[in-house]
Amino acid sequence: MTADTVRYAVIMLLAGIGIPVLAALNARLGVRIGSPAAAAAILFSVAFAGAALTMIATGGISALASAPGQPKHLFLAGLLVVFYVLSITWVAPRFGLGNAITCVLLGQLLSAAVIDQFGLMGAIVRQITPMRATGLGLMAIGVILTQRG
């Protein structure tokens, strides 16, 4: 295992830890202000400010000039983020954060495996070998078991 592999894994582990925290905070904000959509708009305003400051600090402003020439389907990612944030903000207080995140995790496992299998959207191709399929199955069983009892 290389140092880069460990570094990437730690970064993504931290991002994964952040997802339920984000969901819990935004769901609570939505309940407190009485509007999941308003909570999502606030979240995106804060996120935009953070992303803009990071872009400025890293010298990425010039990259914006090439954005209009990109394939339009690549911008659908923004709609997927909106769908996630709105759905988790609305569902979590009604369904439970653990239940909501469990379903999200299961969806992530399945879609990631399909994307990797076929190299969709430019992803690195990683075949679903019998070993990998077993691992995905065990992860799915683990996700389901965490919600029982």
Tens-place pLDDT, residues 42-92: 999 999 999 999 999 999 999 999 999 999 999 999 999 999 999 999 999
Query: What is the structure's pLDDT at 146?
Result: 81
46 in Cβ contact with 32 (< 8 Å): no
Nearest to residue 36, comparing CAs of 79, 91, 76, 105?
A: 91
Burial 37-63 (b: 16+ CB within 10 A, else e): eebbeebeeeeeeeeeeeeeeeeeeee
pLDDT band at 149 (very low <50, low <70, confident <90, very high): low
pTM value?
0.85
Which domain does 17 fall in, by range? 3-145
Is residue 17's pLDDT more than 90?
A: yes
- Per residue in 64-74, pLDDT (tens digit) is 999 999 999 99
List of residues 6+ apart from 39 with CB closer than 8 A = 26, 27, 29, 30, 33, 89
- Per residue in 111-144, pLDDT (tens digit) is 999 999 999 999 999 999 999 999 999 988 988 8
- Domain count across the chain: 1
56 in Cβ contact with 62 (< 8 Å): no
